[in-house]
Amino acid sequence: MREIEFTVNGRKRKVLVRPKDLLLNVIRDELGLKGTKYGCGTGECGACTVLLDGRPVLSCLTLAVAADGRNITTIEGIGTDENLHPIQQAFIDAGAIQCGYCTPGMIISAKALLDRNPNPTEEEIRRAIKGNLCRCTGYVKIIAAIQLAAKRMRGETT
């Protein structure tokens, strides 16, 4: 066991972990943040996506020890109950959420995209969420939601 310390959603957290503990399990079981999901455990579905130092990574293939000292953002760190992030709002408004199991990972990927590229093409949006599987929506409304969010964040529409 070793103690690691990282910043999660803006808060410093210390946890005891074993080398083999995956970031996904630490986030869910130790930190109790259940928005990050298990969908495959092998990097293919993106349900476990979190931001590590601002970049989307797969928490199911990240050792918790390797996150020592770093900055993590999970879905719980995006928007607040009173003030949803525009991407969250756009997902709701565009009907991009069915079962919602893929949604946290999808929103994290979308946020990483829009943080770097406020005006993405549809092609760029599709590529940015290529690593996030959704079986319910067929992606149509998810792509539309990200376009809507981008527009709103650029102040072009409400």
Partner 1 sequence: MREFKIVGKSVKKIDAGLLAQGKPLFTDDVKFEDMLHARILWSPHAHARIRNIDTSEAEALPGVHAVLCYKNVPRVPHTSAGQGWPEPSPYDMVMFDNKVRYVGDRVAAVAAETEEIAEKALRLIKVDYEILPAIFDPEKAMEEGAPVIHDEPDCRQVLPLFYDPKHNHCAHIEVKTGDPDRGLQEADIVVEHTVKNHYAQHCALEPHSCISYLDPMGRLVVRSSTQVPYYARRIIAQCLQLPERMVRVIKPRIGGGFGSKQEIVVEDVCAMLTLRTRRPVRLVFTRPEVFVSTRTRHPMVMRVKTGAKKDGTVTAIKMRVISNTGAYGPHCMTVLGSTCAKTLPLYRCPNIEFIGDTVYTNLLNAGAYRGYGVLQGTFAMGIMMDEMAHAIGMDPIEFWKKNTIRVGETSPIFSALSEIGKGAEQKVDSCALPECIDRGAEAFRWREKRERYRNQPDGPIRRGVGMVCTVHGGTVALLDASSVTAKMNEDGSFNLLISASDVGGGCDTVLSQIFAEALDIPLDDVVVYPTDTDVTPYDKGAYASGTTYLSGLAVIKTAEEIKKQIFKVASEMLNEPPENLKLENKGVVSVKSGNRLEFSQIARRSLYSKNQTQIAATASEYSRLHPQTFTAQFAEVEVDMETGQVKVISYVCAVDCGTAINPTLAEGQVEGSIINGISYALTEKFVFENGRVLNPNFRDYKIFSAPDIPEIKTILVPSYDPTGPFGAKPIGEPAMDGVLPTISNAIYNAIGIRFTESPFTPEKVLRAIKLRKSNRAQP
Partner 2 sequence: MLWDFEYFEPANITEAVSLLQKYGDEARVIAGGTDLLVDMKNEKIQPKFLVSIMKIPELKCIVEDGAELSIGAATTLAEIEESRLIKERYGLIHEAVKELGTVQVRNMATIGGNICNAIPSADLPPALVALDARLKIVGVNGERTLPLEEFFLGVRKTKLKNELLKEIVVRRPPERSGTAFIKLARTSEDLAIVNVAVRITLNKDNICEEARIVVGGGIGPTLLRSREAEKIIEGRRVDEEIINRAAEVTSQGFQCRRDSIRAPPEYKIEVGKVLVKRALMKALRRVNGEE
Ligand X SMILES: Cc1cc2nc3c(=O)[nH]c(=O)nc-3n(C[C@H](O)[C@H](O)[C@H](O)COP(=O)(O)OP(=O)(O)OC[C@H]3O[C@@H](n4cnc5c(N)ncnc54)[C@H](O)[C@@H]3O)c2cc1C
Contacts to partner 2 by CB under 8 A = 18-20, 22, 41-44, 46, 49, 52, 55-58, 61-63, 65-66, 109, 112-113, 127-128, 130-131
Q: Is 137 in the site for ligand FES (CB under 6 A)?
A: yes
Candidate list 17, 23, 45, 112; residue touching ligand FES; CB under 6 A: 45
Q: State in angstroms the smallest separation of the CB of 96 from partner 2.
A: 18
Element (H, E) at 68: none
- For 147, half-sphere exposure in the C-beta direction (CA atoms, 13 angstrom radius) is 13
- Give the pair of three-digit tokens for residue 34: 């259940």
Q: State in angstroms the smallest separation of the CB of 22 from ligand FES.
A: 9
Spacing of C-alpha 156 from chain mean position = 25
- Give the pair of three-digit tokens for residue 47: 């349900």
Candidate list 23, 125, 148, 150; residue touching partner 1; CB under 8 A: 125
Q: State in angstroms the smallest separation of the CB of 158 from ligand FES.
A: 25
Using CB under 6 A, which residues numbered 29 to 68 contact ligand X?
Answer: 43-44
Q: Which residues contact 105 (CB under 8 A, 6 or more apart)?
A: 36, 37, 39, 45, 46, 47, 48, 49, 75, 132
Task: Compare residues 32 and 155 and give the one whose CB is closer to partner 1.
Answer: 32
Nearest-angstrom CA–CA distance, 89 and 107 = 10
